Amino acid sequence: MNAENSASARLTSDKANSPDRIPVEEFVPAEVSELDLYQKREKIYTRKIEGFFQRIRTLTGWPLLAGYFLLPWLQWGDRQSVLFDLPARQFHVLGFTFWPQDLSMLAWVLIIAAFTLFAVTNFAGRVWCGFSCPQTVWTSIFMWIEQKVEGSRNQRIKLDAAPWSANKFAKKVLKHSMWLTVAFYTGFTFVGYFTPILDLSYSFFTFSVNPWAGFWIAFFTLATYGNAGYLREQVCLYMCPYARFQSAMFDPNTLIISYDPKRGEQRGSRKRTDKSADVGLGDCIDCELCVQVCPTGIDIRNGLQYQCIGCALCVDACNSVMEKMNYPKNLISYTTENALNGQPSKIMRPRLIAYIVAVVVMCGLLAYRIVARETIELSVLRDRQALYYKTEQGDIDNRYTLKVANKTQNNHRYQLSVSAPHTVELVGSVEFQILSGEVVDIPITLRLAAQQQVRGPFNIEFQAQRLDAEDDIVSHESRFFAPAE
């Protein structure tokens, strides 16, 4: 055993001293040498900043908010434009009505969304997180309210550190009241996608709301209030899995927000009239404005970090400082790893092309699936009491129940017919009307005349055709039973 240990030690020593091996030294900064995994979260006080990318964030965030809050209130024909009617098992999206049988399309939508996210991430990093993610958008609303009520970053720090007073209490009550108002409207709107929102509004304000609807309104109100008001960056850092696996989609040509150390170092403060070369410093004046505006509290100058959501607040902050110093902009900017290393960057790469092709193909197939889907659904149930019935005249009857669904958003008339290798007669009404989104049960009797002398079962096919559209027809196979002897 000692010989084995000695050999293992020599092997380890040889590897460590090999000229082909890069020596690695363990370095633990003093300030993080002891880390409590359950330490209390330090509140991040963000500073308000204006700039080019923040105007883009406004243009990307407002359409999301407008679409979310307005869509349930818009009418499409005689119903809500977007309504997921779970009791009726019908999902109305603008001019389309989807049924549980169309649920496979949801998988297509999710796959398309995933591949789109992969393509965007491979091209522009976490730009989705920084500009359009609901967590980011709603958190920005809550932070805007906080800034309007409690003031600037320094004013908020002083307010939280000050003892309780009438002024502090009033500001806190006003802020949280506005937070709860936005959170309530968010939760109420979400439930309005599953319950007709006009009926929900009436029942809520007349105190007759369904208990389950009331529960979900309260649940999503508290969830929004907690996520956007308190958790904020904690959702991005610890709850969202995207930050953890995003690096699998990055490559040296992916756009990332990065600090240029070649240009910025050595950091140091100086007068506004000083040039970097004259004072022997880089362009970074070490103002830490990029840290103060960061919603996740990181210092982008330390390199790419998984906490960075790509919001470009630090870019706008740094550019504003560079303008005041009369230095070139984009010390912090959207760039690529290749560009930082002085190598050319490629926009179109094999993996990005593959993602785009996959998204385009799947979108085309989904669109075809939606357009070509059947608007009539037909199912056939045989009578369970007997295989067949014999009349006094010797005719053979088979009884069925046909379930016909009108999957369109208009009322239509339909006609039934049957195809069989032998002449059978449809006994009962063969024309009927079905309202929009309605499923009707139609009892049908098929009669085989005695003089045909057919023995044994044979296959038949029922057909339901829309009278105002000859090509809108659906069929379903079944069996006709007759005596074997």
Segment 393-405, tens digit of pLDDT: 889 999 999 999 8
Q: Confidence class of residue 25 from pLDDT cuts 50, 70 and 90?
A: very low
pLDDT tens profile 63-77: 889 999 999 999 987
Closest Cα partner for 57 from 121, 129, 161? Answer: 129
Domain boundaries, the chain: 2-32, 52-102+133-247, 251-340, 376-480
Q: How far apart are CA 319 and CA 312, in angstroms?
A: 11
Distance CA 373, CA 91 (A): 15
* Confidence at residue 33, expressed as pLDDT on a 0 to 100 scale: 44
Residue 193 reports pLDDT greater than 50: yes
- Reduce the DSSP state of residue 58 to 3 states and report it: helix
Q: What does the alpha-carbon distance between residue 144 and residue 146 come to, in Å, rounded to a whole number? A: 5
Per the DSSP assignment, residues forming a β-bridge with 258 are 333
In this structure, of 2-16, 148-162, 466-480, the range with the lowest mean pLDDT score is 2-16
What contacts 23, CB < 8 A, 6 or more positions away?
A: 16
**Helices and strands (DSSP H and E) totals, the chain:** 17, 16
For residues 332-345, give the mean pLDDT: 91
Give dist(CA 29, CA 34) in Å, integer: 10
Backbone angles phi, psi at 316, to 5 degrees: -65, -40
Q: What is the mean pLDDT of residues 104-129?
A: 91
Q: Ranked by mean pLDDT, which of 6-10, 377-381, 433-437 comes out on top?
A: 377-381
**Rounded Cα distance, 54 and 143, in Å:** 14
Q: Which residue has the higher pLDDT, 95 or 113?
A: 113
Q: Give the pLDDT of residue 36.
A: 54
pLDDT at 323: 94
pLDDT at 129 over 60: yes
The mean pLDDT value for 101-125 works out to 90
Who wins on pLDDT, 342 or 149?
149
**In what helix (H) or strand (E) does residue 258 lie, and over which residues does it extend?**
strand 256-259
* Helix, strand or coil, per DSSP, at residue 474: strand
pTM confidence score: 0.79
Of 14-18, 240-244, 444-448, the range with the highest mean pLDDT is: 444-448
Q: How far apart are CA 416 and CA 473, in angstroms?
A: 10
pLDDT-derived band at 352, boundaries 50, 70, 90: very high
Is the model more confident about 37 or about 482? Answer: 482
Of 113-122, 217-226, 404-413, the range with the lowest mean pLDDT is 404-413
Superfamily of domain covering 376-480: Immunoglobulins (2.60.40.10)
Query: Average pLDDT for residues 229-258, to the nearest whole number?
Result: 87
